[in-house]
Amino acid sequence: MHLSELWGAAAPELAERLSSSPGPRRQTALLQDAIRTRRGAAPRVDPVASHVARRLVGEQVPVVALAREVGLSERQLHRRCLTAFGYPPSRLARLLRLHRFLVLARTRPPQVTLAELAGAAGYADQAHLNRDSRTLTGRLPSAFRSAGPVSDPCKPDTTAGS
């Protein structure tokens, strides 16, 4: 990844400051200051979107119940989720449920059936899992059992340079 992908128009100035810095400690301090400044200018996280994400990561929650929890209409919740995630809450729930399945499929012993994994991930049955998997990925869920570990989108990928 190139510095400009993260810093945009500020990349050349930051690169110049880093390259003319005397040593790694000063470079680290400069980069930390730049991150603090940028973080301070970033838009605040929508507390409703944050609540929705926390609720949907662990379990399936009906959109109507989520809207009621946060004191919005379903349509208002839909708009807030589109802005925050790029998806309506129902699609986000489907993606997170499939992610739960993927984590389970790659961490449970091979003798655990797809039907058991589907139930543990929040699907009604294996057919429901099959439909979602095909719709969202174009592949059947069995293809993911041997595909290797699932990366957690909230943690850095440590396998990138290996």
Q: pTM of the entire structure?
A: 0.65
The yes/no answer on whether domain 47-144 falls in CATH 3.65.10.10 is no
State residue 113's pLDDT score. 94
Torsion sign across C-alpha atoms 117, 119, 122, 124? positive
**DSSP category for residue 161:** T
Contact 84, 90 (CB under 8 A): no
For 115-150, the three-class secondary structure string (H helix, E strand, C coil) is HHHHHHHCCCCHHHHHHHHHHHHCCCHHHHCCCCCC
State residue 152's pLDDT score. 53
Task: State the pLDDT confidence band at 76, using cuts at 50, 70 and 90.
Answer: very high
Q: What is the per-residue pLDDT across 135-155, written as a single tens digit (0 to 9) for each?
A: 999 999 998 876 555 555 545
